[in-house]
Chain A
Amino acid sequence: MNQIETLVRKAEGEVNEASTLKALQEMQVRYLGRHGEFTALLRAIGGLPAEEKPAFGKALNEAKARLENIIEARRAALRKEDETRRHAAEPQDLTMPGRRMRAGLPHVLSQAADRIKAALIGLGFELIETPELELVKYNFTALNYPPDHPAMDDQDTFYVDDDHVMRTHTTPFQGRVFEERRPPFRIFTIGRCFRNEAVDRTHHHTFHQVDAFMVDEGVSMAHLRGTLGAFARAMFGPSVTVRFRPDYFPFVEPGVDFAISCPFCEGEGCVVCKRSGWIELGGAGMVHPDILENYDIDTDRYTGFAFGLGVERIPIMRYRIDDLRLFMENDLRFLEQFQA
């Protein structure tokens, strides 16, 4: 029994002397571990008379528990000391820069394109991709552009040869769809277009468009207006409405230009809408019956609508960007302004 008491006292003395958590941990192993001194004492129990064994075992367990408490108390004290010392040695300055990981940044035009995609996919449209280097057949002929017609004037075209052009709009995807599918369908595309124009702040020979169209039974201009309304509200907020005014594109009849009520001033008039309360967004209309007939689609059974708009317009309006050329200059000082 005295052995136990002696051991506890010796241990207690050492524990209270321990000056680091590491030393304390070592002590704990030395006394209470699997090969520690208390385990050694326990082995001595074998040599005792049978009647003394229970009392010895009980005293040993109590002593162990006592020592564990002493060690825990010492550990708590040491932790506290440690912390106090650390705080004193490491003054905290949260204004110093943190260590940052690299975050990928989508191009501002991709951000706009992604929003457009999400809105149109939500309205049941399917995204397809068609060539940038396009056949004259799809870019003009199949879209009802009459040869030698003034409608070609705003389509200054880059030619590769007599049959191939850089697409001047994304609309040629219509002909490719008509050749491969039968109605009903709702399809859209987004991509680069090219026009042979002098480059300045507001013009570029390369720009991006989105074009969508649907053909089904009973499709009307009301559906066009409803779809554009839903699309515009997805893009610009819940209060936006759509206005049509007559316009002309050879591939639609009737043809309209569509504008949205200015989401930036709620129609009051501001710089973005040039004080008019309306922002012209793109062209639209009912798919021309000439085109449907060219692809053997019964125009009495099927009608369709189509619309298109420029992608650059969206960040230009939203962020008040005043120079179209910036989009493809890729200066990170520009791109990094539009985190996503």
Chain B
Amino acid sequence: MKLTVEWLKEFVRTDAAADEIGHTLTMLGMELERMEESPLGPVLDFKVTPNRGDCLSVLGVARELCAKDAARYRPTDLMRECVNGFALGDEEETAVGAGVEVLDPDLCPRYGARLFRGLAPAQSSERIQGRLLACGMRPINVIVDMTNYVMLELGQPLHAFDLDLLAGSKVVVRRPRPGETLKTLDGIERKLGPDMLMICDADRPVAVAGVMGGEDSEVSGSTKNLLLESAHFDPRSIRRTRKALGLSTDASYRFERYVDPEGVVRALNRFALLVRKDTGTEPVNGVLDVYARPPERKPAKVRPSRWNLVLGVEVPEAAAATGLQALGCRVTEENGSLVATPPSWRADLRREDDFVEEIGRLWGYEKIPESLPIGSTLQGGETPEPALTSRVKRAMLRLGFTEVINHTFGDLSPLDADGERVRLRNPVAPESALLRCSLLPGLAACAARNRGRPLFLFEAGKVFLNGREFPALGFLMSGRLLEEHWENKESPAADLAAAKGMVDLLGELLRRPFEFQANDDKRFHRHRQAKVLAGGRELGLFGQVLPEVADGLHVREDAMMGELDLEAILSVPEATPRYRPISPFPAIRRDMAMAISSKVPYSELESAVREAAGETLERIWLFDVYEGEGIEQGKHSLGIAMLLRHPERTLTDEEANDVRERAFRALEALGATRR
């Protein structure tokens, strides 16, 4: 909201400069956003929080300044007149010439009006126009300008009807009848909902209460007689209505944030005074005022022990009481506590702590010291789910992968998992309407964006599938395993074996040994994919994306991608390592070369060797695979190495040869022939 400093100084006497006032506002909770210059001097542009509708005016800001620092900011005579309601003296009388009827007092607790006769919509004075312009409003004519002026000054929105255009010279505040419509000031014909509050004349709606006037009763060049509305509407109803209509006006903005019901007549009076000064026109004697539901303000007990505890700083009782009074509260003392009743303009002060905040705000938060909480000693840490995600991320970093973070929202992708998806009702764009069900589409997009270099990427994040939201790990491997170098031009590219090795190692790092099985996911190459399991639970999969899918996504055809369900991994118990003594005796290597049917899985060969070799087998690995010339069709030649070591003594060559012989026989039992 924008206000000129000179306007503010009509209400408070101070020698504070504009930037000091701005700083004080900030420290009161009205953050100064910027300071502007205008022909009338500096303009303060500040934010008002939604709970403080009473600060959306010169009066409200002046009140806060005086409460914050009574020595620096003193009320002027005008401020005192304002507090006294700008009384004209005729407020007890009822104006003659029009009527007001409120049929829905819940939505309109108070409706007031004054009548003006012979007030022509001429231009307003330069002073009025200047202030409106400096505060960001466009001057139109004296009637509209004065309503805006009073709204900025007092926070009470006003609306002027052309009295001669109101059927029956009457205002009826009610909800619309079925089928009723209204053409608002912006020229749009509005459909009216049953919960909207309307200002009507004897026949039909003439304004959407608190939001916008109707075209038919608008003040025009030929207007002579006015009905000036000043009302208090239910904030929630105004908000619902303006949202339903897709309209927001300066009036609705204030009504939504609570307008002082006790200020209704004051605003009418202020308008009359300003009009009299600018045009000489006098109002019709008396007001129309239907005040069906005066607000209830309940007193609250405010204990010094409470504010000292909550604020963490001692505020003397006298200072607390003075502060609350300066904000307009009625304050008494009872058994060592204050009893505070909030003023009519503060619907936000309900319970003790609301008043505690006011006491602290005026005392100054800068006086609150820093101290660390004592009492219960607590252990900081991570609960299992985030702890596992952190650990998986660290493991992937150790494996040389770079982390990416992709969007939750997306479109359909050929890399999506099968299953039920979650769709947003109001997406930013149609192609961002689905919550991701897999991390693979995002990783593919990263690969496309960073094309032309080896990529080893991962993401750990939430995915949404089949009614579950769960953390997942996705990865992508594409290109050379080792950086290109002049001494090593032939580093292999990532392939299924590289992916398997990586996932296998990941399982080791997570202390949950993974198992691998053949898989038939339609997104991947039939023979270049695998399912990952642990403890009998399926954890995820990896493989080479189908060429047509890769091509469509601008990803290298040989890219390997995979995804694991971290919630599933968490459910697999972690193995605890058990120490084994380290043998100080030398090891002996023995190699075995054989030909065997390609159909026999390597894992069977390995377990056969392990079983046959016994306790001296320290390590076993496959060092050669060959098929082609010299090998029978359907077979391949394998080279398996064993590292043998005895825990308690030096192994002899003869013993090592014995082990190899046993292992070979076990392999022969599976159909191997020695080579």
Among candidates A96, A100, A104, A214, residue contacting B398 with C-beta atoms closer than 8 Å: A104
CA distance A330 to B441 in the complex (A): 13
- Residue B511 CB within 8 A of the other chain: no
- Residue A107 CB within 8 A of the other chain: yes
List residues 385-443 of chain B with CB under 8 A from any CB of chain A: 385-387, 389-390, 393, 396-409, 422-428, 435
CA distance A146 to B51 in the complex (A): 11
- Residue B335 CB within 8 A of the other chain: no
Kindly name the residue among A166, A254, A328 whose own CB sees the greatest number of chain B CB atoms within 10 A. Answer: A254
CA distance A175 to B29 in the complex (A): 27
Q: Are B409 and A205 in contact, with the CB atoms below 8 A?
A: yes
Q: Which residues of B have CB within 8 Å of A255? A: 357
Query: Given A124-B378, A221-B368, is A328 in contact with B425 using a C-beta cutoff of 8 Å?
Result: no
- Residue A91 CB within 8 A of the other chain: no
Q: Are B309 and A220 in contact, with the CB atoms below 8 A?
A: yes
- Residue B28 CB within 8 A of the other chain: yes
Q: Are B383 and A221 in contact, with the CB atoms below 8 A?
A: no
Among candidates B365, B380, B400, B422, residue contacting A123 with C-beta atoms closer than 8 Å: B380
Kindly report which residue of chain A lies nearest to residue B353, judged by CB atoms: A253
Over the window 352-383 of chain B, the binary record of Cβ atoms lying under 8 Å from chain A Cβ atoms (1 yes, 0 no) is: 11101100110001101111110111111111
Q: Are B403 and A99 in contact, with the CB atoms below 8 A?
A: no
- Residue B153 CB within 8 A of the other chain: no
Q: Are B397 and A106 in contact, with the CB atoms below 8 A?
A: yes
- Residue B649 CB within 8 A of the other chain: no
Interface pick from B155-163, B481-489, B572-580, B616-624 = B481-489
Q: Are A124 and B377 in contact, with the CB atoms below 8 A?
A: yes
List residues 11-53 of chain B with CB under 8 A from any CB of chain A: 26-29, 31, 49-52
- Residue A121 CB within 8 A of the other chain: yes
- Residue A243 CB within 8 A of the other chain: yes
Over the window 340-361 of chain B, the binary record of Cβ atoms lying under 8 Å from chain A Cβ atoms (1 yes, 0 no) is: 0000000000011110110011
CA distance A158 to B425 in the complex (A): 7
Kindly report which residue of chain B lies nearest to residue A158, judged by CB atoms: B424
Query: Given A160-B423, A222-B368, A243-B366, is A100 in contact with B403 using a C-beta cutoff of 8 Å?
Result: no
List residues 225-261 of chain A with CB under 8 A from any CB of chain B: 225-227, 229-230, 242-248, 253-257
Q: Which residues of A have CB within 8 Å of B457? A: 330
How far is the CB of A95 from the nearest CB of chain B, in Å?
13
Q: Are A106 and B403 in contact, with the CB atoms below 8 A?
A: yes
Q: Which residues of A have CB within 8 Å of B379? A: 124, 126
Among candidates A151, A254, A327, A328, residue contacting B361 with C-beta atoms closer than 8 Å: A254
Kindly report which residue of chain B lies nearest to residue A153, judged by CB atoms: B50
Q: Which residues of A have CB within 8 Å of B425? A: 158-161
Q: Which residues of A have CB within 8 Å of B372? A: 123, 223, 226-227, 230
How far is the CB of B149 from the nearest CB of chain A, in Å?
24
Query: Given A102-B483, A244-B368, A248-B51, is A217 in contact with B469 using a C-beta cutoff of 8 Å?
Result: no
How far is the CB of B452 from the nearest CB of chain A, in Å?
11
Q: Are A122 and B50 in contact, with the CB atoms below 8 A?
A: no
- Residue A127 CB within 8 A of the other chain: yes
How far is the CB of A289 from the nearest CB of chain B, in Å?
5
- Residue A109 CB within 8 A of the other chain: yes
Q: Which residues of A have CB within 8 Å of B88? A: none
Query: Given A97-B486, A127-B386, A159-B426, is A244 in contact with B366 using a C-beta cutoff of 8 Å?
Result: yes
Q: Which residues of B have CB within 8 Å of A97? A: 485-486
Kindly report which residue of chain B lies nearest to residue A186, judged by CB atoms: B378
List residues 182-200 of chain A with CB under 8 A from any CB of chain B: 184-186, 192, 194, 196, 198-199
Q: Are B449 and A331 in contact, with the CB atoms below 8 A?
A: yes
Q: Are B361 and A99 in contact, with the CB atoms below 8 A?
A: no
Q: Are A100 and B483 in contact, with the CB atoms below 8 A?
A: yes
Interface pick from B108-116, B310-318, B606-614 = B310-318
Interface pick from A23-31, A49-57, A75-83, A129-137 = A129-137
Kindly report which residue of chain A lies nearest to residue B462, judged by CB atoms: A132
List residues 106-121 of chain A with CB under 8 A from any CB of chain B: 106-107, 109-110, 117, 120-121
Q: Are A229 and B52 in contact, with the CB atoms below 8 A?
A: no
Query: Given A100-B483, A160-B423, is A216 in contact with B383 using a C-beta cutoff of 8 Å?
Result: no
- Residue B102 CB within 8 A of the other chain: no
Q: Are B310 and A246 in contact, with the CB atoms below 8 A?
A: no
Q: Are B370 and A226 in contact, with the CB atoms below 8 A?
A: yes
- Residue A94 CB within 8 A of the other chain: no
Kindly name the residue among B50, B380, B453 whose own CB sees the greatest number of chain A CB atoms within 10 A. Answer: B380
Query: Given A206-B407, A330-B404, is A216 in contact with B449 using a C-beta cutoff of 8 Å?
Result: no
Kindly report which residue of chain A lies nearest to residue B236, judged by CB atoms: A148
Q: Are B428 and A127 in contact, with the CB atoms below 8 A?
A: no
- Residue B86 CB within 8 A of the other chain: no
Q: Which residues of A have CB within 8 Å of B354? A: 253
Among candidates B377, B428, B486, residue contacting A196 with C-beta atoms closer than 8 Å: B428
How far is the CB of A114 from the nearest CB of chain B, in Å?
8
Q: Are B469 and A132 in contact, with the CB atoms below 8 A?
A: yes
Query: Given A121-B381, A149-B50, is A184 in contact with B483 using a C-beta cutoff of 8 Å?
Result: no
Among candidates A120, A217, A225, residue contacting B375 with C-beta atoms closer than 8 Å: A217
Q: Which residues of B have CB within 8 Å of A160? A: 422-425
- Residue A329 CB within 8 A of the other chain: yes
Among candidates A124, A133, A227, residue contacting B435 with C-beta atoms closer than 8 Å: A133
How far is the CB of A88 from the nearest CB of chain B, in Å?
21
Q: Which residues of A have CB within 8 Å of B406? A: 328, 330
Query: Given A106-B403, A196-B426, A227-B373, is A148 in contact with B240 using a C-beta cutoff of 8 Å?
Result: yes
- Residue A286 CB within 8 A of the other chain: yes
Q: Which residues of B have CB within 8 Å of A264? A: none
- Residue A332 CB within 8 A of the other chain: yes
Q: Which residues of A have CB within 8 Å of B486? A: 96-97
- Residue A178 CB within 8 A of the other chain: no
Q: Are A246 and B361 in contact, with the CB atoms below 8 A?
A: yes
CA distance A62 to B314 in the complex (A): 97
- Residue A7 CB within 8 A of the other chain: no
CA distance A251 to B488 in the complex (A): 61
- Residue A138 CB within 8 A of the other chain: no
Among candidates B239, B383, B407, residue contacting A129 with C-beta atoms closer than 8 Å: B383
How far is the CB of B141 from the nearest CB of chain A, in Å?
31
Query: Given A120-B380, A184-B375, is A335 in contact with B402 using a C-beta cutoff of 8 Å?
Result: yes
Query: Given A133-B469, A221-B310, A243-B366, is A126 in contact with B402 using a C-beta cutoff of 8 Å?
Result: no
CA distance A97 to B483 in the complex (A): 11
Q: Are B312 and A222 in contact, with the CB atoms below 8 A?
A: yes
Kindly name the residue among B236, B365, B406 whose own CB sees the greatest number of chain A CB atoms within 10 A. Answer: B365
Kindly report which residue of chain A lies nearest to residue B428, judged by CB atoms: A205
- Residue B542 CB within 8 A of the other chain: no
Kindly report which residue of chain B lies nearest to residue A162, judged by CB atoms: B425
Among candidates B382, B396, B435, residue contacting A126 with C-beta atoms closer than 8 Å: B382
Supply 25 A–B pairs (Cβ within 8 Å), ascending by A. A99-B487, A100-B485, A102-B482, A104-B397, A104-B401, A104-B403, A105-B397, A117-B382, A126-B380, A127-B381, A131-B469, A133-B469, A148-B236, A159-B426, A160-B423, A160-B425, A205-B428, A217-B375, A218-B375, A220-B312, A227-B372, A245-B27, A330-B449, A332-B450, A335-B404
Q: A226-B372, A246-B28 are in contact. List 4 more A-B contacts (CB 8 A).
A: A205-B428, A245-B26, A328-B407, A336-B402
What residues make up the interface of A, taking CB atoms closer than 8 Å to B?
A: 96-97, 99-107, 109-110, 117, 120-129, 131-133, 146-151, 153, 158-161, 166, 184-186, 192, 194, 196, 198-199, 205-206, 214, 216-227, 229-230, 242-248, 253-257, 286, 288-290, 303, 327-332, 335-336
Q: Which 4 A-B pairs have the closest CB atoms?
A: A222-B312, A220-B312, A246-B29, A104-B397
